[in-house]
Structures are given as C-alpha cells and as structure tokens.
C-alpha cells in the first residue's frame, strides 16, 4: 500500500541528504514570512532559547524517549470552500483580469489560477517531512528502538506514522506493528483524549477566529478589488489567504503569499492562534485544555517512573496539533496571563502555534541520567528540535542552564494532572453533559 510512494520519496530524500536538491524556502515567500502561518506553517526548527544549552553535558546519556509527532502538511479542511469560491470568481472574471494592468505580485493571475488541493489528505511535502524526520530520529537515537508505533486513526496521521517508520526503521519496518488508538483497551487515550469528552467543542475557537477575521479581511478585500478591477467578496479574500499556506503545504511554493503585506499575513496567523487558543489553551479552570492534557502527562509520568513495570525505552506516537497543545496546556508552559484579545494582535504571547505546532511538529520527551552533572533521573523537552524549558519544575541553576528538571520535581509540579482521572468528579464536571 505504501511501498511505491515510499520508494519515490526515498529517492527524493536521498537527494536532499546529499545536497543535490534544496528543500528550503520557496522563492515567493521571504524568510520573515516563512514561520508566520500558525498551525498551517511548513515545518521549521524552533530557534534555541538564549541562555539554554542545546546539548546535554557530555557525561549524560538518554535512557528513555517519548515522541509525540503531528502529522505532516495536509490539504485544507473547512477552508476548502473558500478556496474553491475564489477559483470560481477568478474564472468568471478571467477576461477582466487579462485586460487589467496588474501589479507584479498579481500578474500570475493572467495565466489563470487553479487549485489542485486535496482536502484532508497528507501532501507530498508532508510525506517527505515525516520520512526525513524518521531518518533524523534514527540518527539522534541510534541505540533506542521499539516494535510498536501508535497513531490517531485519522488517515493522514496513519500515513504519517508509516512514512516516519520507513525513515526510522528502514528495511526492518516490516517487523513493526502499526496500531491506532481505537485498538487500545482504554476508556480515554492520550493522543486524542477529546474523543472521550462530550462537552469538548471547537465552537469557541471558530467564533473567536471569525470575530477577528471580520476585522482584518474587509480592508484586504478593498485593496485587492481596486488592484484587480472588479469586486471581490470577503469570502474570496479568505480563499486567497488560505491558498497561500495550503499551496505551500502541497507544493512548497505559492504565488498568493506575495499578494499580501506582512501585517496581513500576521493577521492570518493570529486568526489561527485565536482558534487554537480557544480550543486547546487554558482560559479558565473549567475549560477542558488542562483536563484533557492531563491524560498525556499521567502517561508520561507512568512511563518515566516505570510505574507499571513494563515501560519501554522508546515510544513513537502520532497525532494532531491539538494533541501537542493540550499537553502544553496541562503543563502551563504556553499559558498567557490573560486571554488573547479579539480586537488587536498581542505581539508578545506565549501561545504561538507557528513555533509550537507547525505541520510535522515533533514533541520529544527525554529521560536522561548523568555521572556527575545531575543527581538522579532528569527530564527534558525538545519541541521542534529546540529545548523547551520546563520552567514550572526547575529548582537549580543547572536546571535553568539545560531547560530540564528532575523526575521528582516534575511529578511534584504536576499534582493537578495526577489528581485527574477519567470518570472522576473533575473529569465529569468538565467533560460529561
């Protein structure tokens, strides 16, 4: 089922590894814009936090790893109707466009614009992201292995786990068991815990995003309409905005990205941050973010303490952007002091999905031990290849230097999560109608 595509992908990836094929920024997007598409951003490594060491001390070794990986770049979901509306409008006004004197950044429209985006599905770019990440992971942890890969049952996530598996396991991938969370005998799983929470809803997120969209899109509509010589609708403008990151997701380039000013693309980024903050952030104690994220935190502690006596050295697990954001919410690591406002962009904010959950985001939890540098087992979080400081449990200068903390302090800092259990009063108040 996967072999032909994987062989083609292998050939392309080997080219990139030998430097024969660039996989950098597309020509139509400047580096300043590249990381500004929120959860629709192409994968990119996070910048290292100043003052936090990128590598562990030389006397330390990683003993256990848990990977939670988002699926790779995909086609649009609910946004597809806006993109298709745009294509229809441009087709209806093709003669006007052909006669118009367009600015350089819109002249591509004289040749027409068609969308070949496939909704929901993993793109070729997404396949390559996961395969290459699998190769990178094998190089980073050459002594660790597992025989099981776990994923959400959504097809693009299943596909992502397979492409990663081919990169990580190579010729031994046939010996690996690929399992989805639907096959687990548990009341609630830690990759898609919202499936067990009947009160969980994306309505607040879409309402907040819509409120912000109504403020910034009309101005863009007016500008583009003047330049094109005919009246666009706000839905058309939305389609053009969404076409930019989704073309990148499918083809690694998009002519639409140059059609917008930087502040307009920042507004698009903020729209998606509002959406995801309301869905999986932490607005109040009664919101589901920390409750649902506690399922993963409990599983993390269970495995790193070997509470069940059967902990493995490596866990490879695949989910969604929400899967990762819920964990950060439960840990309080990306919580802003107040709710993100819907009437202006808060430039300085902890909740920034461009850096936390781009397509193919990878959350890596390491448990490590040292001969002298630290006493007892330690925990470190790498998010998109950079240390994400565990500020809630750090107790020493060494902790702050390496962004880590002891397993003991990590447990103590997460008593809230440890006291949440499926079906108890806290869970039922938040999740049961």
| DSSP assignment of 2-35 | -HHHHHHHHHHHHHHHTTSS--S--TTS-HHHHT
CATH code, domain with 232: 3.40.50.1240
In-domain check, residue 22: no
State residue 283's pLDDT score: 55
In a domain, 88, yes or no: yes
User: So what's the pLDDT on residue 282?
Assistant: 67
Structure confidence at residue 251 (pLDDT): 96
Confidence of residue 288 (pLDDT cuts 50, 70, 90): confident
Q: How confident is the model at residue 138 (pLDDT cuts 50, 70, 90)?
A: very high
Angstrom distance (rounded) from CA 340 to CA 352: 11
| Residue 16 pLDDT > 70 | no
Q: How far is CA 65 from the centre of its chain?
A: 19
Q: Does 96 map to a domain?
A: yes
Contact 239, 213 (CB under 8 A): no
Residue 171: inside a domain? yes
Compute and round to an integer the Cα radius of gyration of the chain.
22
Confidence check: pLDDT of 18 > 60:
no
Query: In terms of pTM, does the model score above 0.85?
Result: yes
Total number of domains constituting the chain:
1
Predicted local confidence at residue 8, as pLDDT: 42
Name the catalytic one among 69, 71, 162, 320. 71
Q: What are the pLDDT digits (tens) for 67-104?
A: 999 999 999 999 999 999 999 999 999 999 999 999 99
Short-list 261, 290, 278, CA closest to 212: 278
Residue 55 among the catalytic residues: no
Q: Which domain holds residue 230?
A: 38-47+60-431
Are 357 and 72 in contact, with CB atoms under 8 Å apart? no
Active site residue 33: no
329 and 297 Cβ atoms separated by less than 8 Å: no
Tens of pLDDT, residue by residue over 30-50, are: 433 445 899 999 999 999 999
pLDDT value of position 285: 52
**In contact, 119 and 80? CB cutoff 8 Å:** yes
| Predicted confidence band of residue 1 (pLDDT cuts 50, 70, 90) | very low
pLDDT for position 35: 55
Distance from C-alpha of 125 to C-alpha of 43, rounded to nearest angstrom: 10
Assigned domain for 274 exists:
yes
Return the number of other C-beta atoms located less than 10 Å from residue 144's C-beta.
Answer: 17
**Quick check: is 12 in a domain?**
no
User: Which entry of 33, 35, 132, 321 is annotated as an active-site residue?
Assistant: 321
Is the residue at 203 inside a domain?
Answer: yes
Is residue 24 very low, low, confident or very high in pLDDT (cuts 50, 70, 90)? very low
Whether 116 is covered by a domain: the verdict is yes
Give the up-direction half-sphere exposure of residue 426: CA atoms within 13 A in the CB hemisphere: 16
């Amino acid at each position: 089922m996967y072999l032909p595509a994987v062989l083609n992908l292998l050939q392309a990836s080997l080219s990139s590894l030998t430097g024969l094929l660039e996989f950098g920024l597309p020509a139509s997007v400047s580096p300043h814009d590249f990381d500004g598409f929120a959860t629709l951003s192409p994968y990119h490594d996070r910048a290292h936090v100043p003052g936090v060491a990128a590598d562990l001390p030389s006397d330390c070794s990683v003993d256990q790893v848990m990977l939670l990986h988002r699926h790779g770049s995909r086609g649009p979901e609910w946004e597809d109707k806006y993109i298709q509306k745009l294509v229809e409008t441009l087709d209806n006004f093709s003669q006007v466009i052909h006669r118009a004197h367009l600015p350089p950044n819109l002249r591509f429209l004289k040749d027409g614009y068609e969308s070949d985006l496939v909704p929901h599905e993993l793109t070729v770019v997404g396949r390559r992201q996961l395969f290459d990440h699998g190769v990178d992971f094998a190089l980073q942890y050459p002594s660790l292995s597992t025989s099981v890969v776990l994923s959400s049952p959504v097809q693009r996530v299943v596909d992502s786990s397979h492409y990663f598996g081919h990169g990580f396991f190579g010729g031994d991938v046939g010996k690996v068991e690929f399992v989805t969370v639907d096959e687990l005998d548990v009341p609630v799983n830690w990759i898609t815990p919202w499936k067990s929470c009947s009160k969980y809803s994306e309505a607040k997120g879409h309402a907040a995003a819509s409120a912000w969209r109504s403020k910034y899109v009309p101005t863009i509509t007016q500008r583009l309409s003047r330049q094109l010589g005919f009246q666009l609708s706000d839905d058309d403008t939305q389609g053009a905005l969404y076409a930019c990151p989704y073309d990148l997701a499918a083809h690694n380039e998009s002519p639409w990205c140059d059609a917008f000013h930087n502040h307009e693309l920042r507004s698009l980024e903020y729209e998606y941050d509002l959406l995801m903050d309301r869905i999986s952030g932490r607005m109040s104690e009664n919101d589901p973010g920390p409750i649902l994220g506690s399922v993963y935190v409990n599983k993390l502690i269970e495995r790193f303490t070997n509470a069940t006596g059967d902990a493995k050295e490596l866990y490879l697990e695949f989910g969604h952007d929400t899967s990762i954001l819920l964990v950060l919410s439960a840990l309080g690591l990306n919580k802003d002091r107040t709710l993100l406002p819907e009437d202006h962009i808060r430039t300085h904010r902890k909740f920034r999905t461009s850096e936390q959950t781009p397509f193919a985001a990878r959350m890596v939890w390491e448990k490590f031990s040292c001969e002298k540098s630290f006493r007892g087992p330690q925990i470190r979080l790498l998010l998109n290849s950079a240390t994400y400081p565990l500020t809630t449990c750090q107790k020493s200068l060494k902790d702050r230097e390496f962004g880590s903390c002891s397993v003991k302090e990590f447990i103590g800092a997460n008593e809230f999560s440890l006291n949440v259990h499926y079906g108890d009063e806290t869970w039922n108040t938040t999740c049961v109608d």
